A and B are shown apart, each in its own frame.
Chain A
């Protein structure tokens, strides 16, 4: 069974440009999460989808970030326009139900590293 896959693995863009990160969760997983790790800081929650609906987007830094999950399958996270402080590793994770996280049933992708110059 395929795990959580993320594209691209690394993106280098200039300040002001746009980047779109994609996450394909494990098939059948209704819950999809985005987390971000900025260098030197802890991994932080960005948002949580249940199917195509945003369950919690309290961690989104500002309106330059737009997440979508049309059809409840894959998700995209667009940063427009990118700023220097957006650099970091963006992790996507999925689980079948929200409560399974308690038992470790939350699976992470390898992350998309974003470098904004």
Chain B
């Protein structure tokens, strides 16, 4: 079974700092990759996704992620974080032939200090 690892459980940054959250998965076949965000008290929302094509994908709110197949990684980045980016971030992987079932990482809590 595939697994998803998010290496940072809690990240604390000051506003305007750059962000990179790591995500690695353990499946050798074709996958779809996602980053979701969960703001305090809200449900999960899709930030961005990768299915195929350009491995650098851009999402909402200035976030981007790069798929590196050789490293089984899909790291999330943002050049300059804002206080409003404080949230929990989840990486998820779906195997194409697996009825769309996603495996989620344990999440990374991002706290941005004003």
* A is bound by B: no
